[in-house]
Amino acid sequence: MTLASEVDLQQLFTREHHRIHLVGVAGSGMSGIAALLLELGHDVSGSDKVGSLETDRLQRLGLRFQAQHRAEDATEAELVIFSSAIRDDNPILVSACAAGKPLVRRAEALAAIMSGKRGIVIAGMHGKTTTSAMAAHVLREGGMHPSHYVGAEIPLLGSNAHWDPRGEYFVAEGDESDGTLRFFKPEHTLVLNIEEEHLDFYADLAAIETVFLQLLDQTSGAVFYCADDLHAGRICGSRDGSISFGFAPDADYRGTDIDLQDFASVFCVFRRGEKLGEAVLNVPGRHNVSNSLGVIALATELGIPFEKIVTSLRRFEHARRRFEIKYESDRFLLVDDYAHHPTEIRATLATAKSAGRNRVLTMFQPHRYSRTQALRREFGRAFDNADRILVTDIYPASEAPLPGISGQTIADEIVAHGHRAVSYQPRLERLHCDLGNMIAAGDLILSLGAGNIHEQLSILAADLVIAERLKEIVGEEGDVRLYEPLAKHTTLRVGGPAQFWVEPRNETAFAGLIRYCRRENLPLFVIGRGSNLLVRDGGIRGVVVHPCGGEFDRVEVAGNEITAGVGAKLKQVAYAGKAAELGGLEWMEGIPGAVGGGLRMNAGAMGAQTFEHIARIRYLDGEGNAHTKTPAELEIKYRHVPSLDHNYAVSAVFRGTSAAPEEIARRLDESQEKRRTTQPSAKSAGCIFKNPASGPAGKLVDELGLKNSRVGNARVSEVHGNFIVNEGGATAAEVLELIERIKQVARTQRGVELETEVQIVGEPA
Ligand code: EPU
């Protein structure tokens, strides 16, 4: 193996052209090196486990990319650069080493490329990416044509790294996480803050300081440091020619009169007591004002006029995932942030709080087991400004799990600190559902973490766009909820979430929903009281309409006709009949469903069924147009009304027959008594099976000896064989398995093919 130090890397990278291979090229740091090398004219190849948006972009610039690490793909390379996440046994490293090729670490390569220019390193534990992007932007706007390398994609700069042959300066974000800061020999260094971090790599704060001190010793020009940071001040303050910035009265570049607005800050800048003027920073947060003071100090010392700096700062836009607004409306604000250290979390939450919304709801994905373990107490105290916190499990980066350390560790610390509104959801993919279901108008929703939690916020943002449109359709009186658990809306008490739960209050709103779903190709499902429904554990995708309240709950009597909205309970129709001395409807007392479900199913009891008592119904068709039809104009079957498969009932007119009040009361009592004595009171979906031609399904199940048979918490009722009851916490999967078992036994022992009466909908978990 040739040690990289034996080769003049600066000459090789910046003045010659070579074939170079990068191992782990998809990472945000490595992709920046690849971009620089391509711009410097090298022939660049790279490998990684998977591609990324960055590798796609680089391929367009000439990178030859392989989504696996194979030695044969790098045989032509004269030199190999590797990321610190790559293990020693990587086949490309092993073979390059055997062939005696130079192996270069990412930071070494960066340092060598930077040494071809006048280097400016931005270092510190928090805010490096924002600050280095800001510095590159201000220098660029100042006409200095800087090259740059920052740790994230910066839309404003066009890319995360860029080599500009015209300029003298090179602004780089220095990564302290693995000790590689020591490779840099810059002209200037800007230190933002120093504290305990990356304790997977460093023994303690002293070890961190050693690396920073070496960087400072290797800095030929000025050291800029934040005067408000204890350790940065202590380490940098005594150095000759060091320049301080911050809010402290003795800072060389000092910010005062800070006015933190929603998404911007206005402040005054003084240089050694002399007022330079006012600045406006277009990214929120006091910590960013501090970072910008560092950039103002640097740019001023490099000779850029203050006015020019101020204009550039005003135009500065954030890096991705730094208080990035994913969705904004009068009702909601969704923000994503990369914060993963307690200090960063506190700063981001303070910014969120100052945005002036009602509540701040936060989802947090801890990053690395080692950090979670080392800073657990600090994490517990970092969330005071959040009204609700959902913690998910740890994003491991490249670490192996540590025993007893998980997202629960942080949730427990937050509770121990006295903040009760926290819960732990180990399944990341459920976060958007849990959080989406608790949002209310006025909330700011924040995703925090350096892993992949932002994807959950993106899903929520996309669904919120649709939810807001649905809300407009149903108006002020209607209700729209995201990811409503359907277990709350079914009598069996099982079922996953409805992607969009919508409660219209009148026919116009319902028609509007039908038209919108049709136009947007969104599935639409209507649910009444959920009494004959089995929703699978994955819930229902699309819009679930629950017509209730307003027009839909109305029950009116005129002559011998009772008009009821689909949201009214069948039981109410029976009692309205009683009040008006109209009989024949008493059996409805025993049906737990609403009018809508009764119509759709042609529900029945005591030998009667719904459509025998219907004069006419009103429904909306698939285009949202209303129709009124008599039963004779509809296709109606036992427990199924095909005419309502693709139409949506809104109301029905029942016809009663004049009867003596005592007679009605007697029949109601009879129905009640029958139900009480022959049906279970536990949670159920009513009869599970249609009665086959051979006789009642309940009797069959009973005879087959299947009563009380169970799967998990789903059990066949002891009272009635055609009921499956939920003993508490049963899942749809359990109920479905029990149904299958019953069907199987009926088939093999009696040759009877049982058909479910209960409607089974939704997706498996
Ligand atoms: N039976 C048994 N063992 C049992 C259950 C029933 O031997 O475990 C016998 C009963 O003794 C009776 C016969 O089976 O001789 C029929 O039972 P039941 O009178 O309870 O009527 P069903 O046909 O099981 C129907 C409806 C129910 C409705 C009742 C009451 C169907 C599939 N079910 O039940 O509707 O409440 O009549 O009128 O038509 C529903 O649709 O969800 C529902 C519960």
The Cβ of residue 424 has, within 10 Å, a number of other Cβ atoms equal to 18
* C-alpha torsion 224→229→235→236, nearest 10: 20
pLDDT at site 2 = 47
User: From CA 506, how far away is CA 529, in angstroms rounded?
Assistant: 17
Contact between 136 and 111 (Cβ < 8 Å)? no
Work out the burial of residue 764: count CB atoms within 10 Å of its CB; fewer than 13 is exposed, 13-18 middle, 19 or more buried: exposed
User: From CA 242, how far away is CA 251, in angstroms rounded?
Assistant: 11
678 lines ligand 1 (CB under 6 A): yes
Backbone angles phi, psi at 39, to 5 degrees: -70, -25
Average pLDDT, the chain: 94
Out of 722, 723, 760, mutate this one to test ligand 1's pocket (max ligand atoms within 8 Å of CB): namely: 722
pLDDT band at 65 (very low <50, low <70, confident <90, very high): very high
For the residues 433-439, what does the mean pLDDT come to? 97
Please spell the DSSP secondary structure of 80-99, one letter per residue.
EEE-TTS-TT-HHHHHHHHT
pLDDT at site 152 = 78
Distance 608 CA to ligand 1 centre (A): 12
pLDDT at site 319 = 65
Q: What is the pLDDT of residues 475-501, one digit of tens each?
A: 999 999 999 999 999 999 999 999 999
pLDDT band at 3 (very low <50, low <70, confident <90, very high): very low
> For ligand 1, atom 21, which residue shows the shortest CA distance?
696
pLDDT at residue 114 greater than cutoff 80: yes
For the residues 582-611, what does the mean pLDDT come to? 93
pLDDT at site 706 = 98
719 lines ligand 1 (CB under 6 A): no
Contact between 188 and 366 (Cβ < 8 Å)? no
538 lines ligand 1 (CB under 6 A): no
Please spell the DSSP secondary structure of 215-249, one letter per residue.
HHHT--S-EEEETTSHHHHHHHTTSTT-EEEESST
User: From CA 601, how far away is CA 583, in angstroms rounded?
Assistant: 22
Question: Percent of the chain scored above 90 by pLDDT?
Answer: 85
pLDDT at residue 742 greater than cutoff 50: yes
Lowest mean pLDDT among 148-157, 233-242, 525-534, 643-652: 148-157
Q: What is the pLDDT of residues 695-736, one digit of tens each?
A: 999 999 999 999 999 999 999 999 999 999 999 999 999 999
3-state secondary structure of 193: coil
Q: What is the pLDDT of residues 370-381, one digit of tens each?
A: 999 999 999 999
| Ligand 1 atom, smallest distance to 590 CA | 36
- Side chain identity at residue 159, one-letter code: S
pLDDT band at 1 (very low <50, low <70, confident <90, very high): very low
592 lines ligand 1 (CB under 6 A): no
> For ligand 1, atom 9, which residue shows the shortest CA distance?
699
For the residues 317-336, what does the mean pLDDT come to? 87
Give how far Cα 57 sits from Cα of 36, 62, 159, 167, Å. Answer: 13, 9, 10, 24
For the residues 187-216, what does the mean pLDDT come to? 87
Q: Which of 245, 217, 257, 226 lies closest to 301, judged by CA?
A: 245
Q: Which of 532, 541, 535, 525 lies closest to 599, judged by CA?
A: 532
Out of 668, 687, 708, 757, mutate this one to test ligand 1's pocket (max ligand atoms within 8 Å of CB): namely: 687
Would you state the structure tokens that stand for residue 85, as one six-digit string? 């996440």
Contact between 734 and 502 (Cβ < 8 Å)? no
Contacts from 305-308 at CB under 8 Å and sequence distance 24+?
A: 306/269, 306/276, 306/277, 307/277, 308/141, 308/142
Catalytic residue selected from 14, 129, 348, 409:
129
Residue ranges of E strands in 373-439: 388-391, 422-424
pLDDT at site 180 = 73
Q: What is the pLDDT of residues 22-54, one digit of tens each?
A: 999 988 789 999 999 999 999 999 999 877 767
